[in-house]
């Protein structure tokens, strides 16, 4: 259940004891059998030697050296290697922290000195106290904690499974730490606890390994698999770190922010082939004002240590201050900023999965350049040693990642007290209120969608945010802070105080994001790394207001009770208890339509997230393949076309690289079949890009007014916008008159023939931006956001926005449900 459940630590302690006992037994046995007369001293020496010799090399277990050309270890081989390390090394203990979406074990390897491994639970408790400064009673205790504590570091590999090398490298890195006897390694192991995650997406490791093996020595060798490498999220598995949609996010978040509180989190990625060889911090602009300046500096410091280490080993092509920014929340390395931790990202240039590639100087010159790195041949402060092309192997990637990881651990060891103190101080400062910040946020009682409120609170609590419930009605001053606008808040409301150690997380999830208007010299919008806005209550359609002051403060606290677990909150919301965390929801449909969901081999994340929403709400559906569309197997009441370009849907994957069964898209015949399906009475529901294909091919009387606009005229990279809803339309059942909707480089329609097209929702006529960034808002204001049109006996429903964006926009899910009804 939710909350601070440490059951596995008992398990861990027991297992460590067993491990030590069994070692003791075998050593004594060895001693008595072979050396009956030797002194204790000799036993110790012998024991040490045996251990050193017994730490198995990856090659001895796998039969090949990981990261060698055209080798790949799948998840069972990786977990098997770590299990062998656990069994043979007293510096390594491996824990299963949960199961993946497809049921594979998620593991973390704790690597530290033998003494630290014996005392893991005690060291965990020390770190947990530093993370929660209110539990530290005085300066004396703080100094003791800093003296005894270790820097907790997590290194996580290959969350993006095509960026496969780090998962393979993790075995070599673990072996090196467990077997090396030099002073530097000893210093690292004595002062740090490494939580090494070989991959937080085991399902994807197997999807890639299986595809790679199957296509080795064919034209498809080294290509991306023709399916999402996370069952639901694909690449977006690294966009979920405040939302908790995925089992993997839930398990790692529990490990990090309910249990271990790492001071440093390093997320190891790969980028494209034809750019710099490696990108590390400091990052590019903009910096999010909710990220502490202390953290930004510490992030830069570690990045520069890595860069200097790499340069001293003559590694060319390393870039800092490029491409990646610290604006966006929700990534593996960005979520830690909101928990007072240092988040590091590295991006190594890719090979073709595990096959080497040759990059020519021409390839590099063709590269259009990225933010902060316009020319790959020009010497610059952030790119002092240009790489000029050559053969690029998986082992090159692994080598760079090992040097960087080692450099990071050296910092964590040498500056251990500094990291622990900073971590504590940041949390402590967050317990004090600033003038400019509200006192709390209130989630008011009596909202129409209790299930959504419950999920929202569960998301907050899972990240370690405290939630209180009101046990009596009370008076609060609401948003209008200067006006003394006091009104009574009803019993059953929830209150989230801002002054918690992770204050910035609370503010960042509740506040509106105001992305800076960043333009290039030519007047075009500078493209941010990810989205510009994400405010959760706006996305989820939840009423949450800032509380600036409370009246009658003396009696106030007595009306509040801390919510200990989600079922306590559910009871307040009159919901049945949930059997497990993040439980599925009841099917909201009144009818029983046959639902088809188009699934392209070009692996669309929008399709994955749609599938996630249908599964979460237990709505039965069938995936519809290219072949089904081509061969007219379309016996459905409703078919959903997730957002994808016309080219991707019609032409699909390239015949030149992919086996025939995966290539070729729905073809022109498929487009014709879809049209006949609607004309005969079927319903097509399209999202964003895919609507454009239908508008064009079926000559629907709508036009996307944003298509063709220059980036100097209009740009919105991912924001919450306001839509006004026609409540009389059946598609709007259960929705309010206005709502937030997620817009991500999306569409806005002008209706040419109102007798044929019904507008169900439109972007607000004025000020449609709620959170994020829109350049040239006038182009979308007042335009159609959701439309319905007839074609023959059937119907087409066109969403200009993303009603299920990353599984976050719960506020607009009901549109999808209504659209599916018979």
CB of 284 to Zn ion, least distance (A): 16
CB of 52 to Zn ion, least distance (A): 36
Structure tokens at 621: 């559906």
d(CA 58, CA 176): 10
Nearer to Zn ion, 90 or 237 (CB): 237
SS3 assignment, position 58: helix
CB of 707 to Zn ion, least distance (A): 29
CB of 347 to Zn ion, least distance (A): 7
Helix axes 605-616, 813-820, angle to 10 degrees: 80
Of residues 357 through 386, those in contact with Zn ion by CB under 5 A are: none
Q: What is the DSSP string of 301-363?
A: HHHHHHHHHHHHTT---EE-S-S-EE----STTTGGGGGT-EEEEEEEEP-BTTB-EEE-HHH
SS3 assignment, position 235: helix
CB of 348 to Zn ion, least distance (A): 10
Which x/- pattern, by CB under 5 A, does the window 105-144 give for Zn ion?
A: ----------------------------------------
CB of 331 to Zn ion, least distance (A): 9
Residue 215 phi, psi (nearest 5): -100, 0
Nearer to Zn ion, 84 or 269 (CB): 269
Residue 198 phi, psi (nearest 5): -60, -30
Peptide bond into 282 cis (omega under 30): yes
Nearer to Zn ion, 529 or 556 (CB): 529
Interface stretch with Zn ion, choices 262-270, 284-292, 610-618, 727-735 (CB under 5 A): 262-270
Does 230 contact Zn ion by CB under 5 A? no
Nearer to Zn ion, 528 or 794 (CB): 528
d(CA 450, CA 572): 10
CB of 644 to Zn ion, least distance (A): 21
CB of 160 to Zn ion, least distance (A): 4
Among 269, 449, 630, 703, binds Zn ion (CB under 5 A): 269
CB of 269 to Zn ion, least distance (A): 4
Nearer to Zn ion, 268 or 748 (CB): 268
d(CA 72, CA 60): 15
Which x/- pattern, by CB under 5 A, does the window 740-769 give for Zn ion?
A: ------------------------------
Nearer to Zn ion, 149 or 331 (CB): 331
CB of 230 to Zn ion, least distance (A): 12
CA 749 to chain centre: 31
Other CB atoms within 10 Å distance of the CB of residue 781: 19
CA distances from 326 to 290, 346, 530, 608 (A): 10, 13, 10, 26
Interface stretch with Zn ion, choices 261-269, 440-448, 644-652, 658-666 (CB under 5 A): 261-269
Q: Which of 642, 587, 582, 650 is nearest to 614 (CA)?
A: 587
CB of 81 to Zn ion, least distance (A): 23
Other CB atoms within 10 Å distance of the CB of residue 435: 4
CB of 267 to Zn ion, least distance (A): 8
d(CA 384, CA 403): 18
Cα 237–Cα 424–Cα 280 angle in degrees, nearest 5 = 45
Nearer to Zn ion, 331 or 811 (CB): 331
For residue 109, list its beta bridge partners.
94, 196
Of residues 138 through 197, those in contact with Zn ion by CB under 5 A are: 160, 163
With CB under 5 A, what is the number of residues at the site for Zn ion? 3
Name the E strands within 203-332: 264-271, 278-279, 284-287, 318-319, 325-326
Nearer to Zn ion, 164 or 453 (CB): 164
CA distances from 808 to 142, 330, 515, 813 (A): 39, 11, 20, 9
Residue 628 phi, psi (nearest 5): -55, -45
Nearer to Zn ion, 241 or 260 (CB): 241
Nearer to Zn ion, 269 or 802 (CB): 269
Nearer to Zn ion, 324 or 749 (CB): 324
Nearer to Zn ion, 192 or 350 (CB): 350
Residues that bind Zn ion (CB under 5 A): 160, 163, 269
């Amino acid at each position: 259940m939710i909350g601070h459940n440490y059951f596995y630590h008992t398990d861990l302690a027991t297992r460590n004891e067993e491990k030590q006992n069994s070692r003791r037994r075998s050593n004594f046995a060895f001693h008595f059998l072979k050396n009956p007369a030797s002194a204790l001293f000799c036993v110790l020496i012998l024991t040490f030697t045996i251990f050193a010799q017994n730490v198995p090399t990856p090659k001895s277990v796998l039969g090949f050296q990981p990261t060698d050309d055209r080798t790949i270890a799948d998840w069972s081989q990786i977990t098997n290697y770590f299990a062998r390390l656990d069994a043979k090394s007293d510096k390594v203990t491996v824990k299963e922290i949960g199961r993946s979406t497809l049921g594979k074990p998620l593991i973390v390897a704790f690597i530290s000195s033998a003494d630290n491994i014996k005392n893991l639970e005690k060291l965990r408790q020390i770190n947990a106290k530093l993370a929660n400064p209110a539990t530290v009673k005085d300066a004396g205790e703080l100094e003791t904690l800093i003296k005894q504590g270790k820097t907790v570091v997590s290194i996580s590999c290959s969350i993006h499974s095509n960026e496969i090398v780090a998962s393979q490298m993790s075995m070599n890195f673990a072996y090196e730490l467990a077997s090396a006897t030099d002073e530097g390694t000893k210093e690292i192991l004595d002062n740090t606890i490494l939580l090494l995650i070989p991959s937080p997406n085991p399902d994807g490791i197997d999807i890639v390994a299986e595809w790679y093996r199957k296509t080795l020595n064919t034209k498809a060798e080294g290509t991306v698999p023709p399916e999402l490498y996370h069952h639901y999220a694909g690449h977006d598995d690294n966009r979920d770190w405040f939302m908790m949609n995925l089992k993997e996010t839930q398990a790692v978040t529990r490990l990090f922010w309910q249990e271990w509180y790492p001071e440093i989190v390093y997320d190891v990625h790969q980028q494209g082939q034809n750019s710099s060889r490696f990108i590390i911090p400091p990052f590019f602009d903009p910096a999010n004002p909710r990220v502490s300046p202390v953290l930004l500096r510490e992030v830069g410091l570690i990045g520069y240590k890595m860069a200097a280490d790499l340069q001293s080993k003559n590694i060319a092509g390393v870039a800092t201050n490029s491409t990646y920014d610290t604006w966006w929340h929700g990534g593996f390395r960005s979520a830690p900023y909101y928990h007072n931790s240092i988040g590091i990202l590295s991006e190594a240039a890719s090979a073709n999965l595990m096959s080497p590639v040759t990059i020519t100087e021409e390839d590099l010159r063709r590269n259009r350049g990225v933010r902060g790195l316009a020319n790959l041949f020009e010497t610059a402060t952030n790119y002092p040693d240009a790489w000029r092309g050559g053969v690029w192997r998986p082992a090159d990637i692994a080598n760079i990642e090992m040097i960087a990881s080692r450099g990071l651990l050296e910092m964590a060891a040498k500056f251990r007290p500094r990291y622990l103190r900073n971590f504590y101080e940041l949390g402590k400062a967050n317990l004090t209120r600033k003038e400019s910040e509200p006192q709390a946020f209130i989630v008011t009682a009596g909202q129409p969608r209790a299930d959504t409120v419950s999920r929202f609170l569960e998301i907050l609590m899972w990240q370690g945010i405290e939630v209180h419930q009101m046990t009596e009605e009370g008076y609060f001053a609401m948003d209008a802070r200067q006006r003394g606008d006091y009104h009574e808040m009803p019993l059953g409301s929830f209150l989230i105080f801002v002054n918690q150690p992770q204050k910035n997380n609370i503010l960042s999830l509740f506040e509106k994001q105001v992305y800076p208007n960043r333009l290039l010299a030519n007047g075009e919008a500078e493209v941010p790394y990810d989205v510009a806005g994400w405010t959760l209550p706006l996305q989820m359609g939840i009423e949450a207001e800032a509380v600036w002051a409370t009246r009658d403060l003396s009696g106030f606290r007595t009306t509040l009770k801390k919510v200990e677990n989600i079922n306590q909150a559910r009871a307040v919301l009159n919901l049945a208890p949930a059997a497990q965390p993040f439980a599925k929801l009841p099917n909201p449909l009144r009818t029983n339509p046959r639902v088809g969901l188009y699934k392209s081999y070009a692996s669309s994340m929008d399709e994955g997230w749609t599938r996630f929403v249908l599964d979460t709400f237990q709505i039965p559906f069938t995936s519809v393949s290219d072949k089904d569309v081509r061969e007219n197997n379309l016996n459905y009441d409703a078919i959903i076309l997730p957002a994808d370009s016309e080219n991707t849907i019609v032409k699909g994957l390239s015949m030149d690289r992919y086996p025939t069964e995966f290539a070729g898209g729905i073809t022109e015949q498929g487009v014709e079949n879809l049209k006949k399906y609607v004309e005969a009475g079927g319903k097509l529901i399209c999202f964003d890009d895919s609507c454009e294909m239908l508008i064009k091919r079926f000559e629907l009387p709508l036009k996307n007014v944003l298509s063709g606009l220059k980036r100097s005229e209009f740009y919105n990279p991912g924001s919450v916008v306001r839509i006004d809803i026609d409540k009389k339309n059946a598609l709007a059942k259960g929705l309010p008159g206005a709502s937030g909707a997620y817009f991500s480089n999306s569409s806005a329609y002008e209706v040419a023939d109102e007798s044929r097209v019904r507008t169900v929702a439109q972007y607000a006529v004025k000020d449609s931006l709620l959170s994020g960034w829109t350049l040239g808002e006038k182009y979308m204001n007042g335009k159609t956001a959701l439309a319905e049109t007839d074609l023959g006996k059937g119907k087409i429903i066109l969403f200009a926005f993303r009603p299920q964006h990353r599984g976050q926009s719960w506020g607009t899910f009901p549109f999808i449900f209504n659209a599916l009804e018979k």
